């Protein structure tokens, strides 16, 4: 990976914006969800940029690929939780749909970066 700092990665920047949006959306959830969907969605949301950063900080593209995979897994968990929050009426539908759009964008970027890194390590 040629990027000097993880903050330079556009996918990390978009993942951070997604995490911020999840925190903002979940602030409006019912208080009874604080230990349920609120906590779980927030953990997944911050896990995405955190794993991108951790993978970037590890030595070698194999480790980066592993942590990008972890980030993608957390992103897909977040998509499921956002969908559930919307179906249950816990999340405002327009806000949840915006989150899902951001998830799709980050997923496309993560998948592209992961494919590039995997090609470079020959996996």
- 3-53 pLDDT tens trace: 678 999 999 999 999 999 999 999 999 998 888 999 999 999 999 999 999
Write the CATH number for 73. 1.20.1440.60
Residue 1 maps to a domain: no
SS (H, E, C) 22-85: HHHHHCCCCHHHCCCHHHHHHHHHHHHHHHHHHHHHCCCHHHHHHHHHHHHHHHHHHHHHHHHH
What angle, 0 to 180 degrees and rounded to 10, lies between the N-to-C axes of helices 61-87 and 93-121? 160
Q: What percent of the chain has pLDDT over 90?
A: 85
Residue 73 maps to a domain: yes
Residue with tokens 């950063």: 53
SS3 4: coil
Predicted structure pTM score: 0.93
Q: How far apart are CA 35 and CA 11, in angstroms?
A: 29
Number of domains comprising the chain: 1
């Amino acid at each position: 990976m040629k990027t000097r700092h993880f903050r330079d990665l556009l996918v990390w920047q978009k993942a951070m914006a997604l995490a911020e949006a999840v925190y903002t959306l979940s602030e409006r959830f019912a208080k009874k969800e604080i230990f349920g969907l609120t906590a779980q969605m927030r953990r997944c949301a911050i896990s995405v940029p955190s794993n991108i950063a951790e993978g970037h900080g590890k030595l070698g593209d194999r480790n980066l690929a592993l942590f990008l995979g972890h980030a993608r897994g957390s992103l897909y968990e977040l998509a499921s939780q956002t969908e559930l929050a919307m179906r249950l009426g816990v999340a405002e539908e327009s806000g949840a749909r915006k989150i899902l759009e951001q998830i799709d964008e980050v997923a496309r970027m993560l998948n592209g970066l992961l494919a590039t890194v995997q090609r470079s390590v020959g996996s």
